[in-house]
C-alpha cells in the first residue's frame, strides 16, 4: 500500500519544485481569482456596513472600516465582515483626524454610539 506521508517526507525537493512550477504557470489565474474574491468582499462590506463616511458623509473618498473600540485587530476583510457590528465606515481624512488629534476621539466615540 502507498504511504503518502512517507513519500512526502522522502521527496521534499521534488514537491518544492512542483509547487514552484505550478505557481509560475498559474500565476495569472491565481491573481484573477484573488481580485474577484477581493471585489466580492469589498461589495459585501459596502452593503453590510456602509459606503459613506459616518463623520462627513463622503462616499467618493477612500473608505476605511474603523473599529469602534480603538482595539488592535486583524485588517482582513473577512475579519471585518465577521465582526461587522464593531466597525463603522470612515473616509481617509476623518480617519487621519481621529488618530492624529486626540481631542476628536471623544467626539467620534459619541458619534458612533
**Residue pLDDT tens, the chain, 113 long:** 789 899 889 999 999 999 999 888 888 888 888 889 888 988 998 898 888 888 888 888 788 888 877 677 777 788 888 888 888 888 888 888 877 776 666 776 676 66
Half-sphere exposure (CA, 13 Å, Cβ side) for 81? Answer: 13
Crossing angle for the helix pair 27-48 and 12-25, to the nearest 10 degrees: 70
The reported pTM is 0.58
Amino acid at each position: 500500500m502507498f504511504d503518502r506521508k512517507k513519500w512526502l517526507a522522502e521527496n521534499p525537493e521534488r514537491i518544492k519544485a512542483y509547487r514552484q512550477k505550478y505557481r509560475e504557470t498559474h500565476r495569472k489565474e491565481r491573481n484573477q481569482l484573488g481580485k474577484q474574491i477581493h471585489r466580492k468582499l469589498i461589495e459585501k462590506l459596502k452593503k453590510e456596513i456602509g459606503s459613506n463616511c459616518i463623520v462627513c458623509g463622503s462616499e467618493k473618498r477612500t473608505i476605511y472600516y474603523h473599529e469602534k473600540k480603538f482595539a488592535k485587530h486583524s485588517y482582513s476583510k473577512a475579519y471585518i465582515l465577521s465582526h461587522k457590528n464593531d466597525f463603522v465606515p470612515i473616509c481617509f481624512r476623518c480617519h487621519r483626524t481621529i488618530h492624529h488629534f486626540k481631542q476628536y476621539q471623544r467626539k467620534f466615540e459619541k458619534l458612533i454610539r
